[in-house]
Amino acid sequence: MKYCALLRPHANSRYQAEALKLARAELIALLAKSGCGTDVRCETRADTDWLAFEAGALDEGQLSLLCLAAHLYVLFEETEGALRPLRGQNAAYLGEDLPLVLKYKGKTNETFTAFLLNLALCASDFGPDEPLAVMDPMCGRGTTAFAALNRGWNALGFDQDAAAVDEGLKYFKRYLEYHRIKHTASDQSMTAGGKQAAVLHTFRFASTPEAYRDGDTRALTMAAIPGDRLGLVYRKPCCHLIVADLPYGVQHAPGGGRRRPSLEDMLYEVLPVWVELMHTGGAMALSFNVNTLRPEMVRGMMAEVGLDVSDGPGYEGLGHWVEQAITRDVAVGVRRF
């Protein structure tokens, strides 16, 4: 049987061509995860970009997995030249607008964030219907965490910028209250070496009052913690997936009169910590600017800390233009032991 995916358009025509490449890689990874092969073709219909593939009759689980695709608008089945719509993107657990409303300079595009989540999921040993926990150790105001929550997963977001974390928490609290979503909020002080290391702020909630009453809840935890200090707070694996959009600039981290560590130095410090926080079989997806971090260096560092770096269909050729001075690439690795 032939299936055709109509893709969401992008306002930037130059990025639209790059998005087609990412959408094809994403669909290949999702098809491989669902056991449907990896042959995906690009087609043009009515001056519109489509992706097409051949597969047997898709069951409900396969359809649900494929409809996680960040770039998908509608998935069709083609029979004798006629297109029959099957499904659009899966419904959001809380609300489609959750990762969209909060705007700020440097925010990662929501579609790209969902794309990163999909690559990490497909590379991992876990399935989308499991109660996964996703961590973004450089979360900013929480776009990755909010996208993960809309999958019905749990999310952990950490960042050294306390003001950004606080803004993300305030926004999420307002979102829950505005939409009248039943929830509880709590704070937990974490210590290391006899001193307070961080305060974890946690919201627990459910998509419906009935689910909340029955204890079928999800959680968002955020805290202001630098990435290299997470090991002081969490002393055992706490997540299944790690997804982070690394800083695009030349330097990272405040430093008074001291030399600020480069992005390369920062990665050497944080990667060993992050790997230890993932369950065996978990996957890490990192995006970065190739003008400040060389792709072979990032993948080499991931391999050095014990990750099995993903390559082949769905995980190669992901470099793409974003804007002047930013060409972004993605590296994915799996913890096998």
Two structure tokens written together for 200:
């974890």
Q: 75: which strand partners?
A: 5, 87
How do residues 176-211 score in pLDDT, each as one tens digit?
999 999 999 999 998 877 777 789 999 999 999 999
Helix axis angle for 263-276 and 295-304, nearest 10°, is: 30
Two structure tokens written together for 331:
């590296």
Helix axis angle for 110-123 and 13-34, nearest 10°, is: 20
Backbone angles phi, psi at 51, to 5 degrees: -120, 135
How do residues 65-88 score in pLDDT, each as one tens digit?
999 999 999 999 999 989 999 999
Asked whether the beta carbons of 158 and 199 are under 8 A apart, the reply is: no
DSSP state of 251: B
* CATH 3.40.50 assigned to 2-88: no
- Say which CATH superfamily domain 110-335 falls into: Vaccinia Virus protein VP39 (3.40.50.150)
How do residues 92-133 score in pLDDT, each as one tens digit?
999 999 999 999 988 999 999 999 999 999 999 999 998 899
What distance in Å separates the CA atoms of residue 294 and residue 203, rounded to the nearest whole number?
A: 37
pLDDT at 256 over 70: no
Asked whether the beta carbons of 30 and 122 are under 8 A apart, the reply is: yes
Element (H, E) at 201: strand 195-205
Percent of the chain with pLDDT over 90: 81
Domain boundaries, the chain: 2-88, 110-335
